[in-house]
Amino acid sequence: MNNEILLPAPMYWSGEERFSGGDDHGEDWENKLDKVIWRGVATGGRNTESNWKGFQRHRFVAMTNATQVSGAESWDFVPENWELPPSQYHLAPQQEGQLGSWIGQWSDTAFVDLMCHTPDQPNGTCNYTNPYFSITSNMKMADQFDRKYLPDIDGNSFSGRYRGFLMSTSLPIKATIFKEWHDSRLIPWKHFVPMDNRFMDFWGIMQYFLGYKGKNVNVEGHDKEAKRIALAGQEWANRVLRKEDMQIYTLRLLLEYARLGDDRRDHMGWVKDLL
């Protein structure tokens, strides 16, 4: 599915609410909250007491937690699985020592299950990550569409929510290492916002779109640009990521695969063969 022969994923086809949002694709942009929303399970492999600090979802949730970032800024503790951005990013809130409090204004990211390797942990908790993460209740994808910004991050494999995010009126911010069938159809910064898998650029992305108003530093936001990308992505997804598009793509893929497997492959598909 994510190798040389790229097939559309079954969850994109199923239309299940947790992958698509159902029939609700969100309100008008102006009625949405200027916030980032992310809910998910602590996947990305089988996390254990010795390896969880290397997991991408654990890193993202920690980096977008206002309490953890503020604690790192004040040197109350050293981050377990991430680090503050270097000065080369020129983040205005960081220059004023307000990165954590600024993140607290717009970030709403949390785990719904810590997916613990230790057995018999109650209610999705985990003895070795409980000190660093709290779990919260799940949220339907349709309710997430009430927020403007939707980060999308790999779990054990690619995220099955990406098509639903693209078809919403919110803005997907995408990080992945997996190839998918639709990659060549989508243009970064036109249909979605790309993000590095280390997430070090995420704060800068949010500063660009939301802006920052501090005591001595002000950065203008770019809400109109965020809206333009979100709606362009939705319009394009509704044209090229439909179920009909998946059917046509798969048919053409199978035809080409059959040609490559045929002994007459060097002579098939040429107009000269028909003459």
CA distances from 162 to 60, 71, 81, 165 (A): 17, 32, 26, 5
List the chain pLDDT tens, one digit each, 275 residues: 678 899 999 989 988 888 888 888 999 999 999 999 999 999 999 999 999 999 999 999 999 999 999 999 999 999 999 999 998 889 999 999 999 999 999 999 999 999 999 999 999 999 999 999 999 999 999 999 999 999 999 999 999 999 999 999 999 999 999 999 999 999 999 999 999 999 999 999 999 999 999 999 999 999 999 999 999 999 999 999 999 999 999 999 998 899 889 998 887 766 665 66
Which pLDDT score is estimated for 196? Answer: 95
Residues 124-155: pLDDT tens digits? 999 999 999 999 999 999 999 999 999 999 99
Collapsing DSSP to helix, strand or coil, 109 comes out as strand
CB contact burial 179-193 (16+ within 10 A = b; e otherwise): ebbbeeebeeeebbb
Which residue spans within 66-166 are E strands per DSSP? Answer: 107-113, 147-153
Which amino acid, 53? K
**Token output for 139:** 């949220």
**85 strand-pairing partners:** none
**219 strand-pairing partners:** 212
List the domains of the chain with CATH numbers.
25-265 (3.40.50)
Which DSSP letter does residue 193 get? Answer: E
Q: Are 114 and 135 in contact (CB under 8 A)?
A: yes
* Count helices and strands in the chain by DSSP H and E runs: 11, 7
Q: Are strands 218-219 and 212-213 parallel, antiparallel or unpaired?
A: antiparallel
